[in-house]
Amino acid sequence: MTVYLVGAGPGDPGLLTVRGAQLLRAADVVVHDRLVGRRVLDLAPPTARLVDVGKIAGSASPSQE
């Protein structure tokens, strides 16, 4: 299994790197927080599993235990 970390930047999919967009389009699983916009997540294939890890803007991060 290969894991890639792709930064979502300010949320505009047009501002992702070309490689980042390619990786999202080919992903089987996308682990994200709630700060990532829907338009970025929509780049993932419909068959990709989207896992929301729960960080919300202005809130404390959830425990990672």
| Active-site residue list | 33, 55
Do 40 and 11 touch, CB atoms closer than 8 A?
yes
Question: Environment class of residue 65 by beta-carbon count within 10 Å: exposed (0-12), middle (13-18) or buried (19+)?
Answer: exposed
- The separation between CA 3 and the C-alpha centre of its own chain, rounded to angstroms, equals 12
